[in-house]
C-alpha cells in the first residue's frame, strides 16, 4: 500500500519535472503563454477591485464574451466523444492511440470553462454558496446548478480516465477494464449532457424568444462536433510536428469525415433557424433581425455573423470536396470552421439574445480591452495546461517516461545529457 | 530513445551552475511579475470581511445571528456614510398579499416615481440605478418595442402618447427565482420577490431570465452622497448594496410591511398608482380588479402571472 502510494507520488513528481524542461522552443512557447496569463490576471485583478464595470457589459446586455467563450469551450470539451465513440464503440484502429489527446483537450477545455464562469461572477468570493451541503444549490430548478454539476463531473471523469491510462502505461501494466471502460461509456453520455445542459441554460428562458427555441440544443451539438474535432485535427498535427509521436494521416482523415458531416448538419440547422425567424415575421424575430441585418440603426453584430456564415459555408464546401483530403486544405477548412463557430456561438448567440431587451431597448455590446485581456489570459492558461498535459503524456505513451527507467532518468537528470534526452523526446 | 551514459565533466558543471543561476533569475522574475500583476487588488478595500464572508443564508439565520448581522450592517453603513441607520428584518404579515395596480389613463409620464424610488431605496447615484422604467408608447400599441425609453419632452403628457411605467411585476411564477443557482432570490408569502444581497453570487442569470427587465446589477461600487442616505432600512429591502450583486424593486418592503404605501405611489401627482392587499375584499386594489373592465398583465403569455396590473379608466 505504502509503496504504491510512493510509486504514485514519484510518478506525479516525474510528470511535474518533465513539464518544466524542454528545448528552447518549449521555453519560448511556455514563456509567452505565461506572460499572456499574467496580463490576463492583471486585468482580472482590476476587474475584481473595480467591478464588472471594467467590461463592456451592462444591465441591457448582462452576459458577454466570458459566457460566449464558456459556451464555445463546453462544446470543445464535449467533442472529445467524437474520438471516443469511434474507438470504443466501433473499434476504430487509427484513432485508438490518439483518443487520449482528445480527452486531455477536454480536460483543458473544462478548466477554461470553469475559469470563464468564475470571472463572470460579480462575487467570486461567494463561490462556496454553490457547494451542495455547505451552501445552497438550487437543484434541480436552476439550469446553472445542473451545469456546475455536469461540468465538474465531466472534468473528474476525464481526469480519471486519462490519469489511470497514463499511469498504467507508465508502469507498463495492462489497464483493468472494469476500472475505466464503464467510465468511458459514462463519459460519452456525459459529454452530450454537458452541452445539452448548457444549451438549456438559454433555452429555458421564456422571456428571450431568440434563445427559447428547441433548435438551440441540436445546433450546439452540431457546431461542437464540428469545431471540437477541427481543433483536434490541428492539435494532432502540431503534436506530430514537435514530437516523435507517430500520427498517421489516416487518423486525421477519419476525423475529417466527422467534421464534414457535422458541418453540413450545422449549416442545415442554421438554415432551419433562419427560415423560422424570418418567414413568419413575428415580433419575436427582432433579435435575429438585429443579428443579421441590424435594428433601428444598430448594426454591431452584422459584420460578425456574416463573417461566421461565410467562413462556415466556405469550410463546408472545402470539407465536402475531395480537395480536403489534402491536409493543407483540411487545415484551412478546420481553421475557418473553428473561427466561424466561435463567432456563431458567441457574438451570434449569446449577445443577440439580449438585444433588444425585454422592454424593447436596443443597446449594443462590445467587449472592453480589460475584458478581452481576461479572455486572452484564460485562453493562454488553457493552452498552457494542454501543452503541459502533452509534455507529460507523449513521453509516457512512447515509453520514454516509465517506471522501468526511473533510476536511469534520475541519473541523467543530473548531467548534461539531460537536455539531449529531452530533445529526443520533444523533437 | 537516446541512452548515452551519464558523463560528468567540468563543462557540464559550469553549465549546471549557469543553468541554476538562470533558473533562479527566472523564478525571481516570475514571482515579481505575479506580484505586479496582482497589484490592482490593493484597491479592494472593504470588498468583504470575515463575518461577511462566512455569513449564513438568510433563511438559516437564527434571531441571534440576525441581530449580529444587523449590527454589522449598521456599523458598515455608519462607517461609510457617517449616519447610523435603523435596519430591521421585517417579516411578511399574515393574510396579506400585495398587488399593484397602475392606471394608464392617468399616468402622465413625469417620472416622479422613478426618482422617489431612487431616494427611498438608497440606489446608486453613480452609476445611476433605477428600478422603474417609463416607456413612452404611441397610442394604440402595447408592444414595448415601440416604446421610447429616453424621451426628453419639455412638457408631459404629449398628445398621442401613452406612458407606461414598468418595474418588478412581483410574479406569481417568477422566472428569476427558478434560475438562481444559489436560492439568493425567492418569493415571500406576501408575494414580494426579495434578494439576499449577502448571498447573491452575481451570476446575473436572473437578469437574463426576467421578461420585464426589472433587475439591476451593481457593476461597480454604488455611490450615494452621504446626505442622501435613507436611514430607515430593511435587510431584504433598501439597505445599501455591495458591488457585484443584484437588486430590484421590492414594493418598498421597509414601508409596506409596516402599513405604509410604496414611495412611488405617494409621490404620484395624478393618483395613477394603487397598492394594497388583494386578500382584503375591501381594499382599493380588490375594488379595481373587480370593477374596472379593462386591466392587463404585461406579457401575460409568459405565464409569469404578475401581481402588477395595468388598467384604464374608460
> What domain range includes position A271?
25-404
A142:B179 CB<8 A: yes
Note whether residue A416 is domain-resident: no
**What's the gap in Å between the CA of A202 and the closest CA on chain B?**
9
pLDDT in tens, B220-234: 999 999 999 999 999
- Per the CB < 8 A criterion, the answer to whether B204 and A122 are in contact is yes
pLDDT in tens, A334-343: 999 999 999 9
A51:B218 CB<8 A: yes
Note whether residue A378 is domain-resident: yes
**What's the gap in Å between the CA of B12 and the closest CA on chain A?**
5
B201:A121 CB<8 A: yes
Question: Quick one: average pLDDT of B80-95?
Answer: 94
Tally C-beta pairs within 8 A across A and B.
211
**What's the gap in Å between the CA of B260 and the closest CA on chain A?**
29
Note whether residue B190 is domain-resident: yes
Question: The CATH number of the domain where B160 resides is what?
Answer: 3.30.70.20
pLDDT in tens, B155-173: 989 999 999 999 999 999 9
Q: What is the mean pLDDT of each run of 10 residues along chain A (427 residues)?
A: 89 92 92 96 96 96 96 94 89 88 95 97 94 90 94 95 94 92 93 94 94 94 95 94 91 94 96 92 88 93 96 96 94 96 92 94 95 98 96 92 76 45 45
Question: The CATH number of the domain where A260 resides is what?
Answer: 1.20.1630.10
**What's the gap in Å between the CA of A41 and the closest CA on chain B?**
6
pLDDT in tens, A4-57: 899 999 999 999 999 988 889 999 999 999 999 999 999 999 999 999 999 999
Note whether residue B163 is domain-resident: yes
Taking the model in full, what pTM does it have? 0.92
Residues of B in contact with A50 (CB under 8 A): 40, 43, 220-221
Give the SS3 label for residue B163.
Answer: strand
Note whether residue A347 is domain-resident: yes
- Per the CB < 8 A criterion, the answer to whether B104 and B164 are in contact is yes
Note whether residue B265 is domain-resident: no
Note whether residue B22 is domain-resident: no
> What domain range includes position B139?
114-256
Nearest to A183 by CA among A213, A212, A206, A153: A153
Note whether residue B172 is domain-resident: yes
**What's the gap in Å between the CA of A374 and the closest CA on chain B?**
12
Count structural domains, chain B. Answer: 1
Note whether residue A202 is domain-resident: yes
Note whether residue A15 is domain-resident: no
Count structural domains, chain A. Answer: 1
Interface of B with A in 114-143 (CB under 8 A): 127, 133, 135, 143
Residue in A38, A62, A400 nearest the CB of B207: A62
Here the ipTM equals: 0.91
Task: Give the torsion through C-alpha atoms of B282, B283, B285, B291, to 10 deg.
Answer: 20
Residues of A in contact with B180 (CB under 8 A): 138, 142
What is the C-alpha separation between B216 and A314, in angstroms, rounded?
Answer: 42
Note whether residue B192 is domain-resident: yes
pLDDT in tens, A239-285: 999 988 999 999 999 999 999 999 999 999 999 999 999 998 887 89
Nearest to A67 by CA among A55, A81, A80, A79: A55
B292 CB near a chain A CB, below 8 Å? Answer: no
Note whether residue B138 is domain-resident: yes
Note whether residue B279 is domain-resident: no
**Strands B232-234, B86-88: pairing kind:** parallel
What is the C-alpha separation between A397 and B199, in angstroms, rounded?
Answer: 47
- Interface mutation vs chain A, best among B123, B134, B208, B216, most A CBs within 10 Å: B208
B180:A129 CB<8 A: no
Helices A302-320 and A327-345: angle between axes, nearest 10 degrees:
150
Amino acid at each position: 500500500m505504502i509503496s504504491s502510494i510512493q510509486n504514485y507520488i514519484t510518478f506525479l513528481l516525474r510528470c511535474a519535472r518533465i513539464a518544466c524542461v524542454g528545448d528552447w522552443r518549449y521555453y519560448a512557447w511556455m514563456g509567452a503563454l505565461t506572460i499572456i496569463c499574467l496580463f490576463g490576471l492583471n486585468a482580472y485583478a482590476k476587474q475584481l477591485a473595480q467591478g464588472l464595470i471594467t467590461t463592456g457589459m451592462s444591465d441591457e446586455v448582462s452576459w458577454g464574451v466570458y459566457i460566449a467563450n464558456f459556451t464555445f469551450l463546453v462544446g470543445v470539451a464535449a467533442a472529445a466523444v467524437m474520438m471516443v465513440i469511434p474507438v470504443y464503440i466501433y473499434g476504430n484502429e487509427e484513432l485508438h492511440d490518439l483518443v487520449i489527446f482528445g480527452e486531455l483537450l477536454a480536460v483543458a477545455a473544462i478548466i477554461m470553462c470553469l475559469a470563464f464562469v468564475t470571472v463572470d461572477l460579480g462575487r467570486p468570493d461567494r463561490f462556496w454558496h454553490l457547494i451542495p451541503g455547505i451552501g445552497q444549490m438550487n437543484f434541480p430548478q436552476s439550469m446553472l446548478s445542473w451545469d456546475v454539476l455536469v461540468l465538474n463531473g465531466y472534468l473528474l471523469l476525464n481526469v480519471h480516465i486519462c490519469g489511470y491510462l497514463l499511469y498504467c502505461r507508465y508502469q507498463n501494466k495492462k489497464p483493468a477494464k472494469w476500472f475505466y471502460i464503464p467510465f468511458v461509456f459514462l463519459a460519452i453520455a456525459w459529454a452530450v449532457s454537458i452541452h445539452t445542459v448548457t444549451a438549456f441554460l438559454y433555452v429555458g428562458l421564456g422571456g428571450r424568444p431568440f434563445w427559447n427555441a428547441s433548435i438551440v440544443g441540436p445546433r450546439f451539438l452540431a457546431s461542437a462536433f464540428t469545431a471540437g474535432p477541427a481543433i483536434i485535427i490541428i492539435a494532432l498535427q502540431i503534436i506530430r510536428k514537435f514530437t516523435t509521436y507517430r500520427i498517421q494521416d489516416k487518423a486525421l482523415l477519419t476525423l475529417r469525415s466527422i467534421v464534414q458531416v457535422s458541418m453540413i448538419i450545422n449549416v442545415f440547422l442554421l438554415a432551419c433557424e433562419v427560415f423560422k425567424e424570418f418567414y413568419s415575421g413575428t415580433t419575436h424575430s427582432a433579435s435575429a433581425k438585429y443579428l443579421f441585418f441590424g435594428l433601428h440603426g444598430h448594426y454591431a453584430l452584422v459584420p460578425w455573423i456574416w463573417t461566421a456564415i461565410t467562413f462556415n459555408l466556405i469550410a463546408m464546401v472545402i470539407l465536402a470536396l475531395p480537395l480536403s483530403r489534402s491536409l493543407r486544405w483540411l487545415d484551412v477548412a478546420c481553421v475557418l470552421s473553428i473561427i466561424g463557430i466561435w463567432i456563431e456561438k458567441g457574438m451570434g448567440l449569446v449577445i443577440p439574445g439580449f438585444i433588444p431587451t425585454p422592454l424593447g431597448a436596443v443597446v449594443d455590446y462590445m467587449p472592453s480591452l480589460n475584458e478581452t485581456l481576461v479572455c486572452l489570459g484564460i485562453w493562454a492558461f488553457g493552452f498552457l495546461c494542454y501543452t503541459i498535459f502533452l509534455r507529460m503524456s507523449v513521453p509516457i505513451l512512447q515509453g520514454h517516461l516509465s517506471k522501468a527507467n526511473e533510476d536511469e532518468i534520475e541519473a541523467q537528470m543530473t548531467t548534461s545529457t539531460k537536455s539531449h534526452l529531452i530533445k529526443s523526446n520533444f523533437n | 530513445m537516446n541512452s548515452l551514459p551519464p558523463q560528468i565533466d567540468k563543462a557540464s558543471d559550469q553549465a549546471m551552475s549557469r543553468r541554476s543561476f538562470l533558473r533562479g533569475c527566472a523564478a525571481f522574475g516570475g514571482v515579481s511579475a505575479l506580484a505586479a500583476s496582482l497589484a490592482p487588488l490593493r484597491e479592494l478595500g472593504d470588498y468583504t470581511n470575515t463575518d461577511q464572508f462566512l455569513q449564513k443564508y438568510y433563511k438559516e439565520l437564527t434571531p441571534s445571528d440576525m441581530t449580529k448581522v444587523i449590527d454589522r450592517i449598521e456599523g458598515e453603513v455608519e462607517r461609510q456614510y457617517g449616519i447610523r441607520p435603523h435596519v430591521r428584518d421585517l417579516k411578511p404579515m399574515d393574510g396579506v398579499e400585495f398587488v399593484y395596480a397602475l392606471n394608464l389613463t392617468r399616468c402622465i409620464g413625469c417620472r416622479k416615481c422613478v426618482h422617489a424610488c431612487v431616494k427611498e431605496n438608497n440606489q446608486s447615484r453613480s452609476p445611476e440605478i433605477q428600478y422603474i422604467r417609463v416607456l413612452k408608447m404611441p397610442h394604440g400599441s402595447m408592444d414595448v418595442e415601440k416604446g421610447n425609453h429616453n424621451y426628453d419632452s419639455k412638457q408631459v403628457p404629449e398628445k398621442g402618447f401613452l406612458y407606461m411605467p414598468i418595474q418588478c411585476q412581483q410574479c406569481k411564477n417568477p422566472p428569476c427565482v427558478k434560475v438562481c443557482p444559489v436560492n439568493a432570490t425567492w418569493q415571500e408569502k406576501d408575494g414580494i420577490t426579495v434578494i439576499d444581497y449577502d448571498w447573491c453570487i452575481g451570476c446575473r442569470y436572473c437578469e437574463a431570465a426576467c421578461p420585464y427587465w426589472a433587475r439591476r446589477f451593481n457593476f461597480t461600487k454604488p455611490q450615494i452622497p452621504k446626505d442622501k442616505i435613507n436611514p430607515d432600512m430593511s435587510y431584504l429591502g433598501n439597505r445599501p448594496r455591495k458591488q457585484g450583486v443584484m437588486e430590484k424593486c421590492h414594493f418598498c418592503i421597509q414601508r409596506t410591511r409596516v402599513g405604509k404605501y410604496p414611495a412611488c405611489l405617494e409621490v404620484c401627482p395624478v393618483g395613477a398608482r394603487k397598492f394594497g392587499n388583494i386578500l382584503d375584499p375591501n381594499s382599493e386594489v380588490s375594488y379595481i380588479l373587480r370593477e374596472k373592465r379593462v386591466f392587463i398583465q404585461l406579457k401575460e403569455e409568459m405565464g409569469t402571472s404578475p401581481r402588477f396590473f395595468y388598467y384604464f379608466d374608460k
